[in-house]
Amino acid sequence: MSSLFVGLMSITWQQIVMIGIGAILIYLAIAKEYEPSLLLPIGFGAILANIPLSAAITHGQEKGVLNVFFDAGILTEIFPLLIFVAVGAMIDFSPLLKKPYLLLFGAAAQFGIFFTMMVATLFGFSLKEAASIGIIGAADGPTSIYVATKFAKELLGPISVAAYSYMALVPIIQPPVIRALTTKSERRIRMEGHAKSVSKTMLICFPIVITIFAGIIAPSSAALIGFLMFGNLIRECGVLNKLSLSAQNELASLVTILLGITIACTMTAERFLQPQTLIIIALGLVAFIFDTAGGVLFAKFLNLFLKKKMNPMIGAAGISAFPMSARVIHNMGQAEDQFNFLLMHAVSANVAGQIGSVVAGGLILALVGSMF
C-alpha cells in the first residue's frame, strides 16, 4: 500500500515550486496568449518533469521519454533546424527586397545580444554561457535554442522561457524605450510609402544567393541560414505549394509541440531553481531593451547625414519578433499622427531583423567557438 504513496512521500518543495511555475506558464499561454504554442508545452513539460519519480525523465539507467526526445531532437539540432524550415516558408521577403537599405536596421537592432553577453560575463558566466544568454536578444526562439544547445545546454530551460516570454512582451517592452530615446517630432516623421515591386525570379534567387554568401563567409552559419532559406525557397519557387503549406502548418505545429515539451526536461527543480535563472531572465530583458535602443539610436545617427529624415522608430523594428514589433511601431506612429503610415517600412525592417538574428547567431557560433 505504501508504494502507492511513494510519489507523494518523496515530493520536495522545489518540485512544488516548479509545478507552480509550469502552471503559471500555462496560465500565461491561455489567459494572456503569450506565445501559447511554446509556453503551453513548456509549462506542461515542466509539470511532467517535476512530478516525483516521473517516468517522463531519466532516472539513473531508466530513460525517460522527454530525455529521449531531447537527445534525439535538440542535442542533434534537428528540432530547431526543422523550425527554421517552417519559419522560412512563412516569411515573405518581398517588403525587404523593395527597400533593401532597411537591412541596416536588422543589423543595428542586434546590439542587445552583444551588450548582454558582455554584461553576463560580469556576473561570472563563462563566455559560452554569456553568448547563449545574450542570444535571447535575437528575439528568435529557434536561434536561441540552437546556440544554447551548442554552448550551454544546461541553461537551455531558462534561456528558452526568457526568449519566448519576452517575444510575447515586445508590445510592452519596446514603447517606453522608444519614447525615452525619441522626441515627439521625431516620432511624427512620415516616410515615403511608395516602393517598386520585385520580380518572381528575384524572390527565387534571393534565398539561394544569401545561403551561398553566408555559407562561404561564415560556414558555421550555413545550417541556420541554409534551413531558413530552404524553407523560403520552397515557398517562393511556385511549384511546391503543397510542401510550402505543409512546412508552414503541419511541420511547424508538430515540431513546435515536440520542441516545447522537450525543452522542459531541462527544467527540473535542481537545475532551474538556481539564482542564475533569475539573472538570466533579467538579462533577457536587458537584451530586448538594448536591441530596441540599438535600432533607434542607429536610425538617429543616420538622420545626421540624411537630407530627408527617417522616422527613428523604424530602427526598433529591426528585431526579429515578427510581426509584433512592426505593429508596435506602426501603432506608435499612428498615436502621434493618425495619417502617419509606418507599417510597410516597419515590416521591411522587421523582416531584416529575422535575417539579422540568424546571422548574429551564426557569427556568435563562429567567433565564440574560435576562442576555444
Partner 1 sequence: MFTQQVFDTFWNALVVTGQGMSGIFVFMGLFYVAIKVMDKIFPYKAEDEKKD
CB of 304 to partner 1, least distance (A): 17
Q: Provide, rounded to whole angstroms, the least separation between the CB of residue 118 and partner 1.
A: 4
Residue 126 interacts with partner 1 (CB under 8 A): yes or no: yes
What cell numbers appear for 100 in the block?
533593401
Cα-based angle 105, 302, 102 (whole degrees, multiple of 5): 30
Q: Which is nearer to partner 1, 258 or 314 (CB)?
A: 314
Position 199 contacts partner 1 (CB under 8 A): yes
User: Least distance (Å) from partner 1 to the CB of residue 371?
Assistant: 6
Using CB under 8 A as the binding rule, whether residue 205 contacts partner 1 is answered as yes
Q: How far apart are CA 187 and CA 104, in angstroms?
A: 19
Q: At its nearest, how many Å lie between partner 1 and the CB of residue 262? A: 29
Residues touching partner 1: how many (CB under 8 A)?
48
Phi/psi zone of residue 52: left (φ > 0), alpha (ψ -120 to 50 degrees), beta? beta
Cell of 74: 535538440
Distance CA 366, CA 206 (A): 23
Q: Using the minimum distance from each CB to partner 1, give the nearer residue, 111 or 164.
A: 111
- Give yes or no for residue 38 binding partner 1 (CB under 8 A): no
3-state DSSP call for residue 59? strand
Are 130 and 151 a contacting pair, CB within 8 Å? Answer: no
* Binding residues for partner 1 restricted to 351-370, rule: CB under 8 A: 352, 355-356, 359-360, 363-364, 367-368
Cell numbers 542533434 correspond to what residue?
76
Pick the closer one to partner 1 by CB: 212 or 281: 212
Alpha-carbon gap, residue 342 to 331, rounded angstroms? 8
Q: Does 86 participate in binding partner 1 (rule CB under 8 A)?
A: no
Which of the residues 209 through 268 are near partner 1 (CB under 8 A)? 209-210, 213-214, 217-218
- The DSSP string of 251-297 is IHHHHHHHHHHHHGGG--HHHHSSHHHHHHHHHHHHHHHHHHHHHHH
Kindly write out the interface string for residues 142-181 of this chain, putting x where it contacts partner 1 by CB under 8 A and - elsewhere: ----------------------------------------
Give residue 3's identity as a one-letter amino acid code: S
Residue pair 120/129 in contact by the 8 Å Cβ criterion: yes
Decide if residue 282 touches partner 1 (CB under 8 A): no
Binding footprint of partner 1 on the chain (CB under 8 A): 97, 100-101, 103-104, 106-107, 110-111, 113-115, 117-118, 120-122, 124-127, 130-131, 196-202, 205-206, 209-210, 213-214, 217-218, 352, 355-356, 359-360, 363-364, 367-368, 371
